[in-house]
Amino acid sequence: MKYRIPKARGFAFSEILIVLVILSILGGTLMITLGPSEEKAKATRVQADLDALRSAVLTYSHENSWNKAAFAAVTTEGESMLSATSISPYLTQELRQTISVIRVNGRLLSGFVNHSDITESVSKRLRKAAEPEGLLDNKGDVYTNGADIYVYVR
């Protein structure tokens, strides 16, 4: 008795198309869900960099005996006063942004000028965290938008 061995049959063109459509739908859904997490990560990074900068400026001011009177004597209201090179030894990580330390209404603020990671969607996330986290603009008001962002040092 002779047995016929069936030939191996490949996938039909329509079956391959259906699989590709399903994969593209899943990929699109994944992109939609992961998009906001990237913006949230950038906003968190900005806040972490501000905290690191605040700590560096505080350490610098303590090691260089900056009391309130000495600080007021060497600064002009609203004018940047410390360079990145003077603060960099006190930073645990290198910051890629332009650092600014200013005096506004008699208080010391540290922050970034023209921060490159602050897009419109990142700005929206920072706006939500502005009041609880103490994020400010260059006038000392609660942060609302823009690429300049500050925190009180003291």
For 40-96, the pLDDT digits (tens) are: 888 888 888 888 888 888 888 788 776 555 555 555 555 666 666 777 788 877 777
Q: Supply the DSSP string of the chain, one letter for each residue.
A: -PPPPPPP----HHHHHHHHHHHHHHHHHHHHHHHHHHHHHHHHHHHHHHHHHHHHHHHHHHHTT--HHHHHHH--BT-----HHHHGGG-SS---SEEEEEEETTEEEEEEES-TT--HHHHHHHHHHHHHHTEE-TTSSBP-SSS-EEEE--
The model's confidence at residue 113, banded by pLDDT at 50, 70 and 90, is confident
Average pLDDT, the chain: 80
Q: Please report whether residue 92 resides in a domain.
A: yes
Question: What is the pLDDT confidence band of residue 114, given thresholds at 50, 70 and 90?
Answer: confident
Query: Count of domains in the chain?
Result: 1
User: For residue 1, is it within any domain?
Assistant: no
Asked, for residue 25, whether it belongs to a domain, the answer is no
Range of the domain at 97: 37-152
Could you tell me the CATH number of the domain that includes residue 92?
3.30.450
In a domain, 138, yes or no: yes
9 occurs within a structural domain: no
Q: Is residue 74 included in any domain, yes or no?
A: yes
